[in-house]
Amino acid sequence: MCLFQLPEDVLYLILSYLDSKSLCRLSQVCRKLYHFTSRDSVWRKIAKDLINTGITRQGGDLYPHILLKDRVRTSQNWSQGSCRKETLLKWKPNLLPWLQLDRDVLYLSQAADIGAYHLSAERGRFQHRRFALFSGHQEDVCRFVLTDTHLISAGGDGKIIIHHRRDDISMEFYGHNQEVNCIDCKGGLIVSGSRDRTARIWTLSPNRVGECLHTIPLFDRVWSIAISPTISTFVTGTACCVNSTPLRIWDTERCQLVSCLGADFRRGAGVLDIIYESPFQLLTCGYDTYIRYWDLRVCSRKCVMEWEEPHDSALYCIQTDGNHLIASGSSYYGVVRLWDKRQTRGLQMFQLTSSTSSPVYCLRLNASHLYAALASALYSLDFTAPGPRARR
């Protein structure tokens, strides 16, 4: 029986059991096979096992508009650290920038403003001119988040500003008595954390903007905060200057403490970044040089996995691909490290600058690029670019 007499879905199923080498060979046999072996469904199983292909552990696809076959090829470049480094922007004096990425638009905070930049691939070059500006803070922006409709920023001036992304409307209010170090927003709920040692909950609904729903005294400066994907809880990361764990989970409705994560943090092990990968899995990093992976279904006293930054430098930020890859930004020489969760040692390391005290304040990535914001420049690593490779 000829292969092509099979019903298409059976053919796809058979092909999905092949490894990538066999698929590549098959694709060279004839046009028809090339067509069949190019389909995403054939590559899913392979892609799920590799880093940063966009296939998440739950089986979702982050980049359905790009052929999975191509993403599998680019994934090799991530594993091998094969990429081109580019300096997209430089500025003076030193700042504490923050980033958000929304498809082909990059949002970057510089001092009191946030600019939006096109990362259009067609022209092949980064456009240095920002096409939108979000302002209103009297002091530097500490962090900001995006929703489909809004950009919400937290500033050193204690303000929280809610900007509409597509028009010029914005609403602002004083959120805290001191600088607002961190903010998150999901499902119409805003949580903020501050140097004033409180976390607060707000709503995005227009007629109640600026009305604080809850204030939680944490007795410790709050540096990072994240709302769980289910919105029923959120987690706070604090400076760890008091005798309690710096990671605590709260109920969003009643603001009661749900659990404390970890037990043996040393004093000063402040948490600088937190991300949820699923409603019960999260990653944290901070001053004690560790990345920790927590699974709330298993146990909250101990993390399920941890990775230590080998250069004894604090970790300022982390990102993941929702599956095996973690990217971390450390406090010296602009070191960005890639980790495969299945390995204890780092996978790749990139030193973005030669100046010593040069933290990577924020990282963002998609299937082809990694963006890193340092004190005086914005860098990109392009894992699809041919030519000179980044110095490692």
Ligand X SMILES: *[C@@H]1O[C@H](CO)[C@@H](O)[C@H](O)[C@H]1NC(C)=O
Q: Using the rule CB under 6 A, which residue among 8, 60, 104, 230 binds ligand X? A: 104
Q: Which stretch binds ligand X (CB under 6 A): 66-74, 188-196, 260-268, 313-321?
A: 66-74
When asked if residue 366 is in the footprint of ligand X (CB under 6 A), the reply is yes
Name the minimum Å distance from CB 283 to ligand X.
Answer: 21
* Nearer to ligand X among residue 48 and residue 73 (C-beta): 73
Alpha-carbon torsion 297, 298, 302, 308, what sign?
negative
Question: Pick from 20, 52, 77, 319: which binds ligand X (CB under 6 A)?
Answer: 77
Say whether residue 73 binds ligand X (CB under 6 A).
yes
Contact 153, 134 (CB under 8 A): yes
Residue 300 is a binding residue for ligand X (CB under 6 A):
no
Decide if 102 contacts 146 (C-beta within 8 A): yes
CB of 77 vs ligand X, minimal distance in Å: 4
| Cα gap 196→176, rounded to integer Å | 7
Among 42, 89, 96, 119, binds ligand X (CB under 6 A): 119
State which residue, 296 or 373, has the beta carbon closest to ligand X.
Answer: 373
Does 74 engage in binding with ligand X (CB under 6 A)?
yes
Interface with ligand X (CB under 6 A), residue total: 16
For residues 49 and 70, which CB has a smaller minimum distance to ligand X in the complex? 70
Measured from the CB atom, is 99 or 162 closer to ligand X? 99
Which residues is 75 bridged to in the sheet? none
Residue carrying structure tokens 């602002």:
172
Q: Does 319 bind ligand X (CB under 6 A)?
A: no
Length of the chain (residues):
392
* 66/212 with CB nearer ligand X: 66
Q: Among 369, 372, 374, 377, which residue interacts with ligand X (rule: CB under 6 A)?
A: 369
In order of 17, 259, 387, the CA distances from 127 in angstroms are: 43, 45, 21
Interface with ligand X includes 181 (CB under 6 A)?
Answer: no
User: Contact region for ligand X (CB under 6 A) — 107-115, 144-152, 299-307, 383-391?
Assistant: 383-391
As given in the structure block, the two tokens for residue 286 are: 């901070």
Site for ligand X in 44-63 (CB under 6 A): 63
Which residues are CB-contacts of 56 (< 8 A; sequence separation ≥ 6)? Answer: 62, 321, 322, 323
Given the complex with ligand X, which of 78 and 307 has the nearer CB atom? 78
Span from 70-78, 183-191, 195-203, 284-292 in contact with ligand X (CB under 6 A): 70-78
| C-alpha–C-alpha distance, residues 139 and 288, integer Å | 29
Least distance (Å) between residue 86 CB and ligand X: 10
Segment interacting with ligand X, rule: CB under 6 A, options 73-81, 191-199, 203-211, 250-258? 73-81
- The residues that touch ligand X, with contacts defined as CB under 6 A, are 63, 66, 73-74, 77, 82, 104, 119, 121, 366-369, 384, 386, 389
